[in-house]
Amino acid sequence: MCNPGDAAGPDGGVRTGAGLDKDTDSCGFFRGNVCVFQKEERRCRRMKMLFLNVSPRRDGGVARMLEAMADEARARGAEVVCERVSSLSVRACTGCMVCRGEGRCVLPPDDAQRVLELLRWCDVLVVGTPCYWGNMPGTLKVLFDRMVYGMMGEGRRGMPRPLLEGRRAWLVVTCTTPWPFNVWFRQSRGTVRALREVLRWSGFRVAGCIERGGTRQRPVDGRDLERCRRAVRRLCG
Ligand SMILES: Cc1cc2nc3c(=O)[nH]c(=O)nc-3n(C[C@H](O)[C@H](O)[C@H](O)COP(=O)(O)O)c2cc1C
């Protein structure tokens, strides 16, 4: 039975294998008498994946691509939670800045606090979004604004401090501008850049990105869905 926590050192880091029985260690924690339990822990427990679908279109390209990814993730044993951003109830940030000092939002609880808990819970965040005006849709921006205090802190000199380190992210972005103009004219590429900005400062490592231009002339098809499933196979290892 795989129980990586048993081998954890008090500092939560790598510890040598002295005192543990190498032969009975079914997870193979020892690498040259060194216990690499954190890596093994990730491999042994179910991966937690949060899918944020930012498109308001129920049968749009983003919805279909994220559905393919979520199905593949479930088939690979991941724990999957999906949220439709356009269905959430989230009030806009008032910019009071109280959250920066108190670490909590003063607005009445709504879906922003709930999604922040999901961000803390997940190992992998998948953001699927259409490009709106070369950027992310306003619904997602409002959500990120409301969660800022749980995503990025400030050091003593006002420097950003990522609060969600150790997590990975994958981006799926669609737009009508065909390739390569979606990249050259910063359409889907502008959306990717804006998302990277938020995620990087929050501590996420953006592991990959699927950018799909020209959705009006050529709607999302089976090849795109297979590309999405492949991405999940890469993420799940
Ligand atoms: C308000 C709005 C703004 C948009 N802005 C852009 C844009 O700046 N560049 C672009 O190429 N497509 C733009 N589009 C088109 C969408 O990105 C495109 O239709 C996308 O494939 C929709 O994905 P979905 O069907 O999954 O929602 C916009 C669409 C809407 C509704």
Tokens representing 21 are 């029985």
Task: State whether 8 and 114 are in the same domain.
Answer: no
Return the ligand 1 atom nearest residue 61 CA: 26
Give the pLDDT of residue 206.
Answer: 98
Buried b (16+ CB within 10 A) or exposed e, 115-138: bbeebeebbbbbbbbbbbebbbbe
Task: State whether 78 and 26 are in the same domain.
Answer: no
Task: State whether 34 and 128 are in the same domain.
Answer: no
Return the ligand 1 atom nearest residue 190 CA: 8
Q: Kindly give the confidence (pLDDT) of every residue in the chain, 237 residues in length, as a single tens digit, with 9 standing for 90 and above.
A: 333 333 333 333 322 233 333 333 333 344 444 444 555 555 557 999 999 999 999 999 999 999 999 999 999 999 999 999 999 999 999 999 999 999 999 999 999 999 999 999 999 999 999 999 999 999 999 999 999 999 999 988 889 999 999 999 999 999 999 999 999 999 999 999 999 999 999 999 999 999 999 999 999 999 999 999 999 999 998
Bridge partners, 205 (sequence order):
168
Q: Would you say the pTM of this structure is higher than 0.75?
A: yes
Task: State whether 148 and 91 are in the same domain.
Answer: yes
Based on its alpha-carbon atoms, the radius of gyration of the chain, rounded to whole angstroms, reads: 20
CA of 219 to the centre of ligand 1 (A): 12
Q: What is the dihedral of CA 181, 182, 183, 186, to 10 degrees?
A: 110
Task: State whether 120 and 186 are in the same domain.
Answer: yes
Those residues whose C-beta lies under 8 Å from the C-beta of residue 211, and which sit 6 or more positions away, are: 171, 173, 182, 183, 188, 189, 192
Q: Do 143 and 174 contact (CB within 8 A), yes or no? A: no
Ligand 1 pocket, residue 129 CB under 6 Å: no
Those residues whose C-beta lies under 8 Å from the C-beta of residue 61, and which sit 6 or more positions away, are: 55, 130, 174, 212, 215, 219, 220, 224
φ/ψ region of 192 (left if φ > 0, alpha if ψ in -120 to 50, else beta) reads: alpha
Alpha carbon nearest to ligand 1 atom 25, residue: 60
Ligand 1 pocket, residue 176 CB under 6 Å: yes
Q: Where are the alpha helices (DSSP H) in 157-187?
A: 181-184
The backbone torsions φ and ψ at residue 38, rounded to the nearest 5 degrees and listed phi first, read -65, -45
User: CA–CA separation, 40 vs 108, rounded Å?
Assistant: 40
Task: State whether 128 and 33 are in the same domain.
Answer: no
Closest of 127, 100, 120, 195 to residue 165, by C-alpha: 120
Q: Do 148 and 192 contact (CB within 8 A), yes or no? A: no
Give the pLDDT of residue 104.
Answer: 96
Give the pLDDT of residue 35.
Answer: 42
Choice from 59, 87, 132 to test ligand 1 binding pocket (greatest atom count within 8 A of CB): 132
Q: What CATH number did the domain enclosing 77 receive?
A: 3.40.50.360
Give the pLDDT of residue 40.
Answer: 53
Q: Range of 94's domain? A: 46-236
Task: State whether 69 and 185 are in the same domain.
Answer: yes
Please return the burial class of 214, using the count of CB atoms within 10 Å of its CB with bins 0-12, 13-18 and 19+: middle
Return the ligand 1 atom nearest residue 177 CA: 11
**Could you give the number of structural domains in the chain?**
2
For helices 61-75 and 222-236, the axis angle rounded to 10 degrees is: 40
Task: State whether 180 and 95 are in the same domain.
Answer: yes
Task: State whether 57 and 20 are in the same domain.
Answer: no
Task: State whether 203 and 156 are in the same domain.
Answer: yes
Task: State whether 11 and 116 are in the same domain.
Answer: no
Task: State whether 52 and 22 are in the same domain.
Answer: no
Q: Do 140 and 198 contact (CB within 8 A), yes or no? A: no
Ligand 1 pocket, residue 149 CB under 6 Å: no
Choice from 51, 66, 131 to test ligand 1 binding pocket (greatest atom count within 8 A of CB): 131
Q: Do 110 and 138 contact (CB within 8 A), yes or no? A: no
Ligand 1 pocket, residue 134 CB under 6 Å: yes
Please return the burial class of 49, using the count of CB atoms within 10 Å of its CB with bins 0-12, 13-18 and 19+: buried
